[in-house]
Structure 1
Amino acid sequence: MDLFSGTIQNLENALGRANVKQKVITNNIANIDTPNYKAKKVSFQNLLNQESSRLESVKTDYRHVDFSDTGSNGSIVANSNTAYQQNGNNVDIDKEMTDLAENQINYQALVERMSGKFNSLKTVLTGGK
């Protein structure tokens, strides 16, 4: 039997992805003054490709996008096309701080949801007491 229909596992996976994103963002912030450092971001394109491969699709026109196209499988990618500072660094502190705040809010929501699932389980196990 799958406890909570896989909800806890899905929440755990989401927390892991948020953790990876947090590490990448904080690494970018830590290297804001490092010459020629290129900001990195987390790409979840491979996860989207896995999910889209499960979708059943019917192409009614040759111009439609095929769901089986896989695209990029990258996880952490660097943007080497730009430079915001004279030393070649391209970390935009405003963007990084915005991404950091957004990720923290997302992480906190996931933790609260996980806590709610465990509280539900506790209620069931204790008979509502």
Structure 2
Amino acid sequence: MGLLNSVSFQRLQGGIEAANKRQSVLANNVANQDTPNFKRSYVSFESILQQQENGLESQLGAKVTDTRHFQFGQSSVVPTAVVNTDETTSMNNNDNNVDIDREMSLSAENQLRYNSYVGQLNSQISMMRTVIEGR
């Protein structure tokens, strides 16, 4: 097993890819804020990852009471981000449901999330470098 093939690296990579996809979707929503009948899209990743982890625990009957406990089952499978469209709402008279303030807020949140993923990845690489170099 390679150093960069661990579950945590795979999850961080999935999170970074989801943040990139989310930024593209948010930019598309903003670009189409005045397009008649346009319905906003959104990206789901963290909620899918959480459902996967909760489903794994209930499926195996294993309860993790400490972060140092081993995970059981297929926890190494990292889900991919899914793009969904919100067809149920309407914000404007032209049947468009893009709220520019909400999209900009979600974009700022996404940037913070992306920065935290990259920071965590850098931290793990730094720890590995310290172990390998012995400094």
Q: So what's the TM-score if we normalise by structure 1? A: 0.73
**Distance (whole Å) between structure 2 residues aligned to residue 108 and residue 46 of structure 1:** 20
Residues 46 and 127 of structure 1: CA distance in aligned 2, closer, same or farther (over 3 Å): closer
Larger Rg: 1
In the other structure, the counterpart of 2:18 is 17
In the other structure, the counterpart of 2:57 is 55
In the other structure, the counterpart of 2:34 is 33
Q: Which runs of 5+ in 2 are unaligned?
A: 62-80
**Distance (whole Å) between structure 2 residues aligned to residue 110 and residue 17 of structure 1:** 11
Aligned length: 113
1:85 to 82, 92, 96: 92
Residues 52 and 24 of structure 1: CA distance in aligned 2, closer, same or farther (over 3 Å): same
Q: Which runs of 5+ in 1 are unaligned?
A: 59-73
Q: 1:6 corresponds to which letter in structure 2?
A: V
Q: Percent identity?
A: 38
**Cα distance, 1:83 vs. partner?**
2.1
1:106 aligns with 2:108: no
**Distance (whole Å) between structure 2 residues aligned to residue 82 and residue 91 of structure 1:** 9
Q: 1:114 corresponds to which letter in structure 2?
A: L
In the other structure, the counterpart of 2:83 is 76
In the other structure, the counterpart of 1:3 is 3
User: Any idea what the Cα deviations from partners look like across 1:104-129, whole Å, max 9, x if unmatched?
Assistant: 0010011111111112222222221x
Residues 2 and 109 of structure 1: CA distance in aligned 2, closer, same or farther (over 3 Å): same
**Cα distance, 1:12 vs. partner?**
1.0
- RMSD of aligned C-alpha atoms? 2.4
**Distance (whole Å) between structure 2 residues aligned to residue 103 and residue 89 of structure 1:** 23
Q: So what's the TM-score if we normalise by structure 2? A: 0.70
1:96 aligns with 2:103: yes
Residue 81 of structure 1: SS of its match in structure 2?
Answer: coil
